[in-house]
Amino acid sequence: MMRIKTREKVTALLMAALVSLGAATESFAFTPWSNINGKWISADGKTVIEDAVEKGITVSKYQNLKGEIDWKQVADDEISFAMVRLGYYEDKDPYFDQNMKDADEAGIKTGVCFYSNATTVQEVKKEAQYVLDIVKDYKVSYPISYDLDAAGELEKKLTREQQTELVRTFCEEIEGAGYRVVVFGDYESLTKQINAKKVPYDVWYNRQGMSNNFQNRTMWRCTNKGKVNGIKGSVCIEFSFENYEDAFLADGWREINGTEYYFENYAMVKNRSVIIEGERYRFDEEGNGTVKGSVGPGSMEESRKTTSTTRTTNSARNANSTNTTNTTSTSRK
């Protein structure tokens, strides 16, 4: 009887030690996806996400329908950017406008998520024009995404080469208007639905967990079950490995769907006058600019003009976009 009681005591002590050891080990782990001393921590609470620059989220009507989003709380919870769901061609997310506006007011950078249903080059060009016509009215300093996962059903109708051509065409149209584009997909869609070698654009890699390496990967979706202050329920957590604010034109002219608009700090200039290269332009509420006269050298207006704003042709903008892609490709995983 004494031996049995002794064994029970020893077992209890061992169990207590194991529990204590587990608690001690857990105490050395950090909250997944948090920032510790300037380093982002992965799902296990200890592994550093190498080269991650900023943490963000993807937001859509599915978050809005669960309750009003408090974007100030979102910003205070280490979120620097939001990829906002635009939706499909002529089927805009009902909360897109609100989310873009509210995120910007909270100081959160915004990009845009688009889902394609196109089956021809003509259709995908029309989709790109639709996207550009909407996003031009918002401050966009993160990429516009083409979602490959959403094209899963189309895989039955299109060959790999056809899908590759659609993706490349969409990307060319978006970047030709001065924006950056990113191709969203998981390993399956990025390797089987398209020929990635023929789509030399940034990749937004959808892979839950720890691993995030993929050719040209500049963004990573690590989980679709994240928790962020200010949002009820789950939300997708994203990481950026690129400083996108330096990756495309913040100030200057952009040709969008055949019309030139002037941008300052990623936002279209509206309802005011701006001095550009010695000429005074008046922009209306739609962003249409009219030259109102020249400004003489030495005048106060001339001295206030921004020297960083240079009007370029569309071909020059495309060349700059290509150069930027080549320059940043060495940092892509």
Sign of the Cα pseudo-torsion (151, 156, 157, 163, in order): positive
Task: Work out the widest C-alpha separation in the chain, in whole angstroms.
Answer: 106
Q: Candidates 3.30.1490, 2.60.40, 2.10.270, 2.40.160; correct CATH number of 252-308?
A: 2.10.270
Nearest to 145 by CA among 236, 73, 79: 236
Query: Other CB atoms closer than 10 Å to residue 18's CB: what's the count?
Result: 10
Q: What is the pLDDT of residue 304?
A: 37
| pLDDT band at residue 9 using 50, 70 and 90 as cut-offs | low
CATH 3.20.20.80 assigned to 35-245: yes
pLDDT in tens, 182-226: 999 999 999 999 999 999 999 999 999 999 999 999 999 999 999
Residues 216, 182 contacting (CB under 8 angstroms): no
Is pLDDT at 19 greater than 70 in this prediction?
no
Burial class (CB in 10 A: 0-12, 13-18, 19+), 34: middle
Task: Give the Cα separation of 161 and 259 in Å (integer).
Answer: 32
- Give start-end residues of each CATH 3.20.20.80 domain in the chain: 35-245
Is pLDDT at 116 greater than 70 in this prediction?
yes
How high does pLDDT run on average in the chain?
85
With pLDDT > 70 as the criterion, what percentage of the chain qualifies? 78
pLDDT in tens, 37-77: 999 999 999 999 999 999 999 999 999 999 999 999 999 99
**DSSP states of 55-84:** EEEEE-HHHHTTS---HHHHHHTT--EEEE
Is pLDDT at 153 greater than 50 in this prediction?
yes
Q: What is the pLDDT of residue 155?
A: 61
Pairing between strand 35-36 and 39-40? antiparallel
Nearest to 139 by CA among 88, 171, 97: 97
Write the DSSP symbol of residue 259. Answer: E
| pLDDT band at residue 21 using 50, 70 and 90 as cut-offs | very low
- Give start-end residues of each CATH 2.10.270 domain in the chain: 252-308
Is pLDDT at 23 greater than 70 in this prediction?
no
Task: Give the Cα separation of 308 and 273 in Å (integer).
Answer: 17
Q: What is the pLDDT of residue 156?
A: 63
- Which residue's structure tokens are 């995120």? 103
Nearest to 212 by CA among 47, 99, 27: 47
**Cα distance between the two ends of the chain:** 65
